[in-house]
Structure formats: C-alpha cells, structure tokens
Chain A
C-alpha cells in the first residue's frame, strides 16, 4: 500500500504502537486481524497525505483497457494469451513470474493494490476488506476483478517476452 519500503517500515511500527494503545477499543477479539489492517490503512493514508511524493487522487482502471486486443485489420476482438501450461513445473519461469508479479502489484493504482493485497495475498474475505477500506463489498469485488485482470495482463505480457527470448 505504501509503495516505498522505508515508508512501509515506519507504517508498520506506527501501526503496532496504535494497536497497543487502542487495544481496549477492540470490540470483537475474533476480528483482530481486519481491525489491525484498518489501523494500518489509516496510518498509511495519513503518512501519504503528509508526503510531498503523495500520488495523485485515485486512478481508475477501465475494464475496456483490460479486454483482449482488437485485430487492427478487421477491428474484431481477438484473444492473445501466452501458454501458461508449463508454469507450475518450470522453476526459472516461476522465479521470473514472481519478479513480474511484484512489479505488477507495485504498478497498480493504490485503490486496486490495497484490494488485491488484502483479498488475495492476505486472503481476507470481501466483507473484511470492505470494512478495512471503508467501501462497499461491491466496490471491493469490482476493484479486485480489475486488479486481477491488470496483474494477469502484466504477467501474460512478461511471459510472452520471456518465451520469445528463449525461442530466439
């Protein structure tokens, strides 16, 4: 969410402090994880508001941008997808994809990055992510889908480049 490693470390420390200080306000001990994530999100947003490097307000990703490309000759839709079938067995390729995944997640606009990290990387529920981010569950679902499609597109492009380089 922070985008910068040093910022993330400061946010983590500040989050721990705030967690200890406000622990008595935790109403539902069963839900401590989303509660801590919510504190972390607020600390992160406060820090970013103060930063001169704060990114511009939320950038939206349109679904159309993530649709498969159109054929320039007849304007019809076409799907161009790299062959992902040997990914599980190919260790070199998996290492390459891990690097690509980090870049893909880092390049996502913040509103999408936070959702994919909470839902997929941290495996929180839609309801928990919605509570942490102060948005509706429908918004979480929409952003998650676009984030995943953007990551898939990024990985697919990298996979095609790698495979092309290997076959040259």
Chain B
C-alpha cells in the first residue's frame, strides 16, 4: 500500500482522469497531466488502479443468467414480432 502526500495539482489531475483515460482530453491538457504524472508516483498508482477498475467494468457480465421466458411471455413476444413484420411489409 502506498501512503504519500500529493500536491494540490493532484486534485486537478484527479478531476480529469476519466477524460484522460478515454482520450477525450484536449492535447494541451493531456500534456500537462502527463508531465505531472511523470513526477508523481501516487498519481501514477491511482491512474493504474482507476484504469484497472474500468477494465473490470468493461468485462462485467452479471453472474446470474435470467430465467427462461414463461409460455405466456413467449407467446406475447411472438405475436408482437409478427405484428412488427406485418407492419414492415405494409407500411402506412
């Protein structure tokens, strides 16, 4: 675990990290942020942990699969699907 004292600049970096990681930050802001990161190990660690969190979110799938559809729901969906196909064949 790291416990280090960051500078006031860390707070500004902290606020812009998602845009930085999404590559949405303007080039000049990006350069400023990277220049801060070069000299700030706590911020580097923070960025790594945030990036890892985002990766985990992107791999996220709920563990439980939904139950199979009931017969009634399946029937309703089939009817709605047929109506949709008919509407597409005969547009108003």
Interchain CA distance A20-B87 in the complex, whole Å: 10
Q: How many residues of A contact B (CB 8 A)?
A: 46
Query: Inside 8 A of A116's CB, which chain B residues have their CB?
Result: 57
Chain A contacts to B: CB under 8 angstroms: 5, 8-9, 12-13, 16-17, 20-21, 23-24, 63, 67-68, 71, 76-85, 87, 97-98, 101-102, 105, 116, 120-121, 123, 126, 141, 144-145, 148-149, 151-152, 155-156, 160
Query: Inside 8 A of B64's CB, which chain A residues have their CB?
Result: 5
Query: Inside 8 A of A80's CB, which chain B residues have their CB?
Result: 1-3
Interchain CA distance A123-B59 in the complex, whole Å: 10
Q: Known: A24-B87, A78-B4, A152-B50. Is A141-B57 also a contact (CB below 8 A)?
A: no
Chain B contacts to A: CB under 8 angstroms: 1-6, 10-11, 14-15, 17-19, 24, 42-43, 45-46, 48-50, 52-54, 56-58, 60-64, 66-67, 69, 73, 76-77, 80-81, 83-84, 87-88, 91-92
Interchain CA distance A22-B57 in the complex, whole Å: 31
